[in-house]
Structures are given as structure tokens and as C-alpha cells.
Amino acid sequence: MNDGQEPHVRAAHTTGPSVDVLMLARNVADVIGQAVDGVLAQRCPFPVRLVIAEDGSTDRTPAICEALAREHGGRIAYRPGGKNIGIAARTVEALSRCSARYVAICDSDDIWTDPNKLAKQVGFLETHPDHAFSYTDVDIITREGMHVDADGYQGIRSRYAGGWLFAQLVQGNFVNNSTTVARRDLLEGLRPNACRDELIGDHVRWIQLAMRGKAHFMPVRTTAYRQGGVTGQTAIQQLNRKVMLGMLPGLLREHASMRTPTTAADRAILLRKTAGTMLRTGHLSLIPLLFRYLPAVFPSRSPSGGGPVDSHDT
């Protein structure tokens, strides 16, 4: 069994770019092999290690993970989870085991289909230090692995963008977890919520990273995203909305304190989101933010009688 503490792997991570691929696994015995194959097929001129975080499966997932770790040696770090503690807490635990310059995520029921995915994303991040993370488009497959042509993903795709994305992401998530690569040092600076009931950790993660750097969108379908996961269930979606509403006041205040660049359009979005959040939660601490964003909707005129002033945070 591989316990994730291989000295030779950690030594390799100390020079040049490197990637730890984080894969959570629970009751995925029928599909995790495909997910692992997609990671191991990556063609990269830098070290890549797969960190499998098992979370108390009741099927053959632990046995399969142990066999894969034995077969692939130092390329896979596997630690059995023991009891089930939930997605959020297991993610926090697994991230603490990552040591590479970058952390990529591949959910254990999805498949990386582009063998150059990591090389292209890491190559961009290496040359653009102002970017916090990179993400891509996806193909949709059924639970049985069949490609879906009319995938209903047009609404999500219409929101894809790069740059400073905080205002866009507080309106809803469009970053697919299994396509992402992020800077580990920025991930370490976040304060994730390990509450068992929270299933929106990925959305919150991208919101927080969007305060700290730009996002890179690569318009290529690098990943097969499997429909029908637990987050697609109606009850879970309702719980996610409730949890997000409770977190929004803190996220909005954190963003305002960091003074990351915002356009007039961003401020208009944030004004509406702040007002709606204050009305629904009763958080009066958001009132100063309303006055901050009001000029985006009711801009002042310049003394010379010119047009609206488009201000930015710096």
C-alpha cells in the first residue's frame, strides 16, 4: 500500500513545475479505473502524481485503489479512508497531502480525454503568474459512459470566461471541477469549510481563488463529465443553495477587503447580489458595500460634463 509520503516524489516536486492530481473516491469501483487511466496517460515534461483519497467505500473501491497503487508505484499515492467523513472534510485532508506546485482535480467518475491537458494548462500558468487557476470545457457522458450529443450544457458554456471572475462566479458556478488546475500556494491560503453537509466546496474554492488571481479558460473539451452524480439530486441542490446563502456575506466582505480589479459591469452585478443577500440573510454588515457599488448603477458626472466615470478597484 502506498501511503502518499514517498521521499523521491516529494524531492521531485522541489524543482520546476509539478502537479499533484487530487482524486476523491467513494463507491466508484466500476469507473475509477477509467479515471486513473486518463490521469496516467498525461504527456508532461514534469512530475505528475495521483493522490487518491478514499472515503469509506462499501464496495471494492479500496481494493482496486490498493492494486493500482502497487502496479504504478510512485505515480500513485493512496491512503485508505477508513470511515466515511464526507466530501468536504476528505478534500481538506487530501489537500494537506499535496506538495506539488500545482494541484489538479479529477473526480473519480470522470475521465480526462486529452493527454496534453495538464501540459497545456501548466504551461500557461507557468508563464502567467497573475492567474490563479485554469479550467476547460467538457464532454458529457451518461453513467454508463455513453457520449451525450444534446447535453443541455449550452447555458453553462455561455458563461465561460477568463480574467477576474469573482462577480460572475457569485452568480453561480460554471467551472467544472474535473477540468481545473490551481496554484497550490493559493489553495493553502484558503479557509475551506469541512462541514459534512457541505457539497459546494468546489464552487466556493473557485470564488475564493477568483479574489486572488485571474482565471484561465481553455476552450477545449479535455474531460468526459459523467452525469448523475450526487450533486445533481434535487434535495442536494436545495441544500447547496442554503449553504451558499449562508456563506455569501463573508465572501462578499472578503472580496471587498481585497480590492481586486472590478469593472463597472462587475459592480452592478455585485450591487444586486449584495442587496439580495442582505435582504435574505439580514446581514446589515453588507450595507457599506451597497454604497461602494452604487456608483456603478448611478455614476456621477465628471466636472467637465463628460460621461459616466468607470471606476476600478486597484
Same-domain pairing of 189 and 96: yes
CA distance 154 to 160: 10
Backbone angles phi, psi at 140, to 5 degrees: -105, 130
Q: Smallest Cα–Cα separation from 237: which of 142, 173, 159?
A: 173
Q: What is the mean pLDDT of the chain?
A: 87
**Shared-domain flag, residues 204 and 58:** yes
219 and 265 co-located in one domain: no
Query: What's the number of domains the chain is made of?
Result: 2
Residues 124 and 260 grouped into a single domain = no
233 lies in a domain?
A: no
Q: Give the tens place of pLDDT for each residue, 249-303.
A: 999 999 999 989 999 999 999 999 999 999 999 999 999 999 999 876 676 654 4
Residue among 305, 157, 145 nearest 225 (CA): 145
Same domain, 141 and 207: yes
184 and 265 inside one domain:
no
Q: Is residue 2 part of a domain?
A: no
pLDDT at residue 297, rounded to an integer: 67
Residues 51 and 116 grouped into a single domain: yes
Residue 255: inside a domain, yes or no? yes
pLDDT digits (tens, 9 = 90+) for 80-103: 888 998 888 898 899 999 999 999
Coil, strand or helix at 203 = helix
What's the confidence (pLDDT) of residue 72?
95
| Domain interval for residue 279 | 248-297
How many helices (H) does the chain have, and how many strands (E)?
12, 8
The answer to whether residue 216 is domain-embedded is yes
In a domain, 39, yes or no: yes
Q: Residue 8: is its pLDDT beyond 50?
A: no
Whole-number pLDDT of residue 193: 66
- Same structural domain, 188 and 65: yes
163 and 14 part of one domain: yes
pLDDT digits (tens, 9 = 90+) for 185-221: 999 988 766 565 555 678 999 999 999 999 999 999 9
pLDDT at 224 over 70: yes
In terms of domains, do 132 and 276 share one?
A: no
| 238 in a structural domain | no
pLDDT of residue 239: 72
Strands 111-112 and 214-226, sheet pairing: antiparallel
